[in-house]
Amino acid sequence: MRLLLALAFVPALISAAHAAEVKGASRVEAVTVYPSSAEITRLAKVKLERGDHVILINDLPSSAIPSSIRVEGRATGRLEIGSVDSRRVHVPRTDAAVVATERKRIEDAIEKLKDDRSGLQAAAEAAEAQKTLINNLAQLPTRPLPPNGAAAPQPDWSQLFALIGQRIAEAQKSIIETRIKIRETDRQISDLEKKLSSLAPGQDARTEVKVFVSAGGALDADIVVRYQVAGASWTPFYDARLATGTKTQAPKLQLVRRASIQQRSGEAWENVTLALSTARPGAGTAAPVLNTVTVDYEPDAPPPRPAPMTSAPRGVAPTTGRVAVLQEDRVAKAVPQSAEEARTTVETQAFQAIYAVPGRVTVPSTGEAKRVQIDDMQLEPVLAVRTVPKRDQKAYLYAKITIGRGTPVLPGQVSLFRDTTFVGNGRLPLLAPGEEHELGFGVDDSVRVRHAIAEEKRSESGIITSSKTDLRNFRITVKNLHERAIAMTVLDQIPVSQNADIKVELLGKTPPTKRDLEDKRGVLAWEMKLEPDEEKAVEFGYRVTWPAAKRVIYGN
């Protein structure tokens, strides 16, 4: 029967001096990635005899946060976990037996290459000797006859020279080929020697965990170690695919949620169960503390400091620069400093969700991004067209979406597709279930926009107290070329006075639907519905009046 064991904080009953040490090789079984960290679950399988033992697990990364380490397990018999210790250690990079085997293979290969090189060197020397001998034969016709010697029959020198030339060419070719082989063999020997030197005992920093246990009998145990690392993160990104529909089909929008995962924790996550969490461990556990802010009269300005004298009167010590600096410091410290408002960072701790990635995933520890799809939402958007003809005489298509029930939409980049065509990138803010948001999908060429200045003049009136007037009128026309009706919003603005003597008056035949849109002073909105092939006009303007003795400027 398997028993679930939790880490029990009980007095340690195991004596380290007499406990048998058991090494437990562990592997990463599951990973939960947070926006700026990750929780790792490692599994180690061990066999234990009856009695006290110390299970030694030393393959945790050095980046493991010591205070986050927790141990639990399952066993086929009674097993008590007494205590858990952890420390940072240095361990060999690979198993000693594997290193020994690899070293023997490389050493044998180097020895064989050196034997081959000796044979090649001997062949090169033989070819050189042969070449020297042939060159000596070529000198025979030039040697004088011995004294009192009888003339010997002469050979066919033309055939002999042809044979000598052929043999010299063959010997030279053999020498060149042998030297090329020697050079290649030297390169292979050098590469193997470098690889052999890399097998020298190396050390890697690791976190070692000692689990003190007591087994009631022989048993098999699965020890689970959980810990957190900081070198990992995930960020959401989205695809928003809008189908604008037709005259008879309603528009649809598919919001595909994806995640980009990166990690440099020092351990590879190979074939693990992966989950993504919106929780933020370590992002703060309490709200900031506000200190008292006071307001008081500004102190009187200190009297001006006298100019330094080149020579002091007799009996009066001159004021040194050091004393003057100290006086300035005392004045500066007496002046109260303005308090700055404490700024907080928006956290999404109120929305905690876990996304389980299907199947098993491998994420390397090189920081390379691993992208996975989380889910997708089928939404029913409300389409509308918006234009700001003062800045751009184009209409832009927007889709208003409402987030359905379930998990929130976290902030992230969104790729926008309209009728399967990529139109650009946008960004989604944090959206709670039930919250609305608008996404722009580019220029709508089926809506025509025109903007014109109908009247613009400046005048001065009055005799005793004269004033100046700036009058401007505009005409905006929009026309719907779609086959269906559309909702249209036209945006423009009038100046906002920053002085009581400057008066701004809104004019025109078409009053705006909304003023000071989104709490932006002076911003106007005209909302309307355009039927197919319908055209509407917006006529508005403003009058600015101010004293003639003054000059006004328009600014953003």
Of 414, 438, 462, the residue at which a domain comes to its end is 438
Pairing of strands 37-48, 421-428: unpaired
Contact 119, 178 (CB under 8 A): no
What's at 454, amino acid-wise? A
Closest CA to 532 of 481, 488, 477: 481
Q: Per the domain annotation, does 155 fall within a domain?
A: no
Alpha-carbon span 53 to 211, nearest angstrom = 8
What's at 278, amino acid-wise? T
pLDDT classification of 389: cutoffs 50, 70, 90: very high
Residue 318 pLDDT > 60: no
Domain match, 392 and 276 both: yes
pLDDT of residue 539: 96
More confident residue, 238 or 2: 238
Alpha-carbon span 426 to 440, nearest angstrom = 8
Helix (H, G, I), strand (E, B) or coil at 379: strand
Domain match, 355 and 411 both: yes
Q: Per the domain annotation, does 343 fall within a domain?
A: no
Please give the C-alpha separations between residue 506 and each of 453, 492, 517, 547, 553, in angstroms, as whole numbers. Answer: 15, 12, 15, 19, 18
Domain match, 363 and 268 both: yes
How many structural domains comprise the chain? 4
Answering whether pTM is above 0.85, one says no
More confident residue, 294 or 274: 274
Q: Per the domain annotation, does 241 fall within a domain?
A: yes
Alpha-carbon span 5 to 13, nearest angstrom = 16
Give the neighbor-by-neighbor strand order of the sheet with 486-493. Answer: 436-443, 392-402, 382-388, 486-493, 523-530, 514-515
Dump pLDDT digits (tens) for 11-37: 443 344 456 788 888 899 999 999 999
Q: Per the domain annotation, does 555 fall within a domain?
A: no
The angle subtended at Cα 293 by Cα 291 and Cα 295, nearest 5°, is: 165
Domain match, 272 and 373 both: yes
Domain match, 407 and 500 both: no
Domain match, 169 and 238 both: no
Domain match, 432 and 355 both: yes
Q: Per the domain annotation, does 420 fall within a domain?
A: yes
Residue 46 pLDDT > 60: yes
Domain match, 61 and 20 both: yes
pLDDT of residue 142: 58
Q: Per the domain annotation, does 292 fall within a domain?
A: no
Dump pLDDT digits (tens) for 197-228: 776 556 678 898 999 999 999 999 999 999 99
Please give the C-alpha separations between residue 274 and each of 197, 357, 518, in angstroms, as whole numbers. Answer: 38, 6, 42
Dump pLDDT digits (tens) for 403-461: 887 778 889 999 999 999 999 999 999 998 889 999 999 999 999 999 999 999 888 77
Alpha-carbon span 508 to 474, nearest angstrom = 8
Lowest mean pLDDT among 279-293, 330-344, 407-421: 330-344
Host domain of residue 504? 447-547
Mean pLDDT, range 507-517, rounded to an integer: 94
> Which two tokens mark 99?
């290193």
Mean pLDDT, range 233-261, rounded to an integer: 92
Domain match, 369 and 423 both: yes
pLDDT of residue 151: 54
The angle subtended at Cα 401 by Cα 397 and Cα 404, nearest 5°, is: 165
Q: Per the domain annotation, does 339 fall within a domain?
A: no
Of 438, 456, 478, the residue at which a domain comes to its end is 438
Q: Could you write out the three-class secondary structure of 265-298?
A: CCCCEEEEEEEEECCCCCCCCCCCCCCCCCCCCC
Pairing of strands 486-493, 523-530: antiparallel
Lowest mean pLDDT among 103-107, 143-147, 522-526: 143-147
Residue 231 pLDDT > 50: yes
Domain match, 452 and 540 both: yes
Q: Per the domain annotation, does 308 fall within a domain?
A: no
pLDDT of residue 541: 95
pLDDT classification of 359: cutoffs 50, 70, 90: confident
Domain match, 83 and 112 both: no
Of 405, 438, 471, the residue at which a domain comes to its end is 438
- Average pLDDT of the chain? 81
Q: CA-based Rg of the chain, rounded to a whole angstrom?
A: 44
Closest CA to 226 of 1, 49, 65: 65
Look up tokens 């965990």; give the residue. 209
Domain match, 414 and 513 both: no
